[in-house]
Amino acid sequence: MLIREKVRQATTILKEMGIDCWVTFVRESALNGDPILDFLLPADVTWHSALVLTAGGDAYAIVGKYDKQMIDDTGAYREVTGYVQGYKDHLQGLIRKINPRSIAVNYSADSEICDGLTHGMYLTLEGLLKEIGYGEKIISAEQVISALRQRKSETELKHIREAIRVTLEIYGQVAGFIRPGKTEKEIAAFIKQKVEAKGLEYAWEPKVCPAVFTGPDTAEAHYGPTDRRVEEGHILNMDFGVKVEGYCSDLQRTLYIRKKGETAIPSDVLKGFETIVQSIEASRAMMKPGIRGLDVDTTARKIIVEAGYEEYPHALGHQVGRFAHDGTALLAPAWEKYANKPFQLLEPGMVFTLEPRLKVENRGIATVEEMVVVTKDGAEYLSAPQKELIVV
């Protein structure tokens, strides 16, 4: 079971990082959950709950009485305590027993994926730790959570590969549906029909998944399909992904709508597309453990700009996992909004998108989004890369 796998991995990470203890502290998690919970629990919990993992390899859960059985059934925890009246004595007793020099908790100034502990719950936890002399032991769990999310296991990669396979299959089907006169909404509806026939979830908010953009002067990204119609001579791009067993794909594909009588792809369209493909391959070739995300982004960005295009106004790529935007490390420029994410070093098991974009005047946006996994000595495509422009 994946939860057992990730709990074991988390205790190994704690030992590696010299952190004695990690506490995930939540309540009413269906309403206000922590992004890490899917790795630690099979379902939401109701009352105040503490999941305590140690560098010694132990895992404990203190939860409400009615949540105990489902956590016992995971086989991931050495001891599961189900309380009725209160959790405080149980948690304080456990901390005294472990006697940790450091207690990592889920807050972060830089990484949203590691910032699951609400301020109120932080104050509660801090207070009960201070009562027993452990208040000064609290540190951020950002390093632990980042490593746990980004070091994908073979089980996780299997689910991601299947999500990618399905996404590419549907892209192949929709390419035959697209033709001049179809609207963005109609194209999106075709894709949604295929997803729903397979009984799958979308990788992100269905209002903007899939996203479809045809021609110039569109919103370009993060916007729902419109009534704009496909026209000859335009570039069309789609952004789409699904979830398989809770794991996401996130891929973009670009097409050209041929004009009647055209025997070749126009040079401006072809140049834009080939520049994108070149920048993706160059950045993938640079990726390996120990490289900063910043330097990978710089590689792709330089190719785009030197080809005569404006630099893209976003990161080259983000991590993908249980969310389409996952993890802490980012392939991004050193901009304020990205904080320290571009300076994180790549590690084996990280799954990233590579998604530069550029504008072809009066045609539309050329962009391709691939997915790669960092290996021990490089990076490999998880998606079969789009090397040729799809012509309709």
Query: What is the secondary structure of 102-128 as a DSSP string?
Result: -EEES--SS-GGG--S-HHHHHHHHHH
- For the domain covering 2-149, report its CATH number: 3.40.350.10
Same fold yes or no, 2-149 and 151-391: no
310 pLDDT above the threshold of 90:
yes
∠ CA 327-331-336 to the nearest 5 degrees? Answer: 90
Given this model, what pLDDT does residue 218 score? 82
pLDDT digits (tens, 9 = 90+) for 221-236: 878 999 999 999 999 9
Positive or negative, the Cα torsion across 81, 82, 85, 91? positive
Q: What is the pTM of this model?
A: 0.95
Given this model, what pLDDT does residue 368 score? 97
Token reading at 126:
């801090």
Given this model, what pLDDT does residue 219 score? 76
Starting at the earlier edge strand, list the strands of the sheet with 370-374: 326-331, 317-319, 351-354, 370-374, 379-381
Given this model, what pLDDT does residue 384 score? 94
Assign 322 a pLDDT band (cuts: 50, 70, 90): very high
Q: Let me know if 337 is exposed, middle or buried by CB neighbors in 10 A (0-12, 13-18, 19+).
A: exposed
Residue extents of the structural domains in the chain? 2-149, 151-391
97 pLDDT above the threshold of 80:
yes
Given this model, what pLDDT does residue 223 score? 85
Given this model, what pLDDT does residue 220 score? 72
Positive or negative, the Cα torsion across 334, 336, 340, 344? negative
pLDDT digits (tens, 9 = 90+) for 188-228: 999 999 999 999 999 999 999 999 999 998 877 878 999 99
311 pLDDT above the threshold of 90:
yes
Cα separation, 180 vs 212, whole angstroms: 14
139 pLDDT above the threshold of 80:
yes
Contact 105, 23 (CB under 8 A): yes
Assign 1 a pLDDT band (cuts: 50, 70, 90): confident
Cα separation, 79 vs 71, whole angstroms: 10
DSSP string, 115-165: --S-HHHHHHHHHHHHHTT-GGGEEE-HHHHHHHHHS--HHHHHHHHHHHH
| Mean pLDDT of the 21-34 span | 96
Q: Which residue has the tokens 């729902």?
A: 224
| Mean pLDDT of the 322-346 span | 97
341 pLDDT above the threshold of 80:
yes
Cα 15 to chain centroid distance, Å, stands at 25
Q: Which CATH number fits domain 151-391: 3.40.718.10, 3.90.230.10, 3.30.110.30, 2.30.42.10?
A: 3.90.230.10
